[in-house]
Amino acid sequence: GAVVSQHPSRVICKSGTSVKIECRSLDFQATTMFWYRQFPKQSLMLMATSNEGSKATYEQGVEKDKFLINHASLTLSTLTVTSAHPEDSSFYICSVAKTGGVGETQYFGPGTRLLVL
Amino acid sequence: TQLLEQSPQFLSIQEGENLTVYCNSSSVFSSLQWYRQEPGEGPVLLVTVVTGGEVKKLKRLTFQFGDARKDSSLHITAAQPGDTGLYLCAGARDSSYKLIFGSGTRLLVRP
């Protein structure tokens, strides 16, 4: 498999502030990472595909200027929620695509719980 | 449009019972993954299937990929309270590693 960490695990912020979430691939150099958000009792919703050294690819309906993604190295991708509002409160999860294995498998981080007051 | 339909959405059973979760689509997938997620945590990979008709076993869990690679099932034998969680199927349609997730099946196994 692959070991993925996220930091912080939970964050509370005031409306209008920006929050940065880090996703690290600890034992694998990940060219591709993904960012998801998950609302209570729902499935995962893909926000964007993060490619090392290039711009992220955002899913339809996801504002790229609000959710800034940077994938500057093969082990780190960051998601910055800019000017956060209460409706941005959610569970954010990253994953890494582990190439060379069986199928197109992703390994997930433990998630970051964001609460915007 | 939900490309991957999971059923049932919720299942509450007694410890020791068997159950099957289904993941269906009209699309063909190059591979399909099953994950289990517990509250407040990220999904954990259970299995990846890539060949039509493939069957994989993981202790009391049996996974099957449909012959046409459009559907999959997860069968749990003698369920235990530790099996409680959200089960997610996810399919890849190409080599981009981008996954389409099913709506999830929430399983509760009562002692």
Residue A115 has pLDDT above 90, yes or no: yes
Please name the residue of chain A whose CA is at the shortest distance from the CA of residue B101: A44
CB contact under 8 A, B99 and A42: no
Q: What is the pLDDT of residues B43-54, one digit of tens each?
A: 999 999 999 999
**Phi, psi at residue B81, to the nearest 5°?**
-55, -30
CB contact under 8 A, A110 and B41: yes
pLDDT value at position A106?
A: 92
CB contact under 8 A, A106 and B95: no
Peptide bond into B8 cis (omega under 30): yes
- Cβ-based neighbour number of residue A47 at 10 Å: 24
Contact of A5 with A111, CB cutoff 8 Å? no
Average pLDDT of A60-66? 94
Sort out which chain B residues have CB atoms less than 8 A from A113's CB and list them.
Answer: 40
Q: What is the pLDDT of residues B3-61, one digit of tens each?
A: 799 999 999 999 999 999 999 999 999 999 999 999 999 999 999 999 999 999 999 99
pLDDT value at position A61?
A: 94
pLDDT value at position A102?
A: 75
A46 touches chain B (CB under 8 A): yes
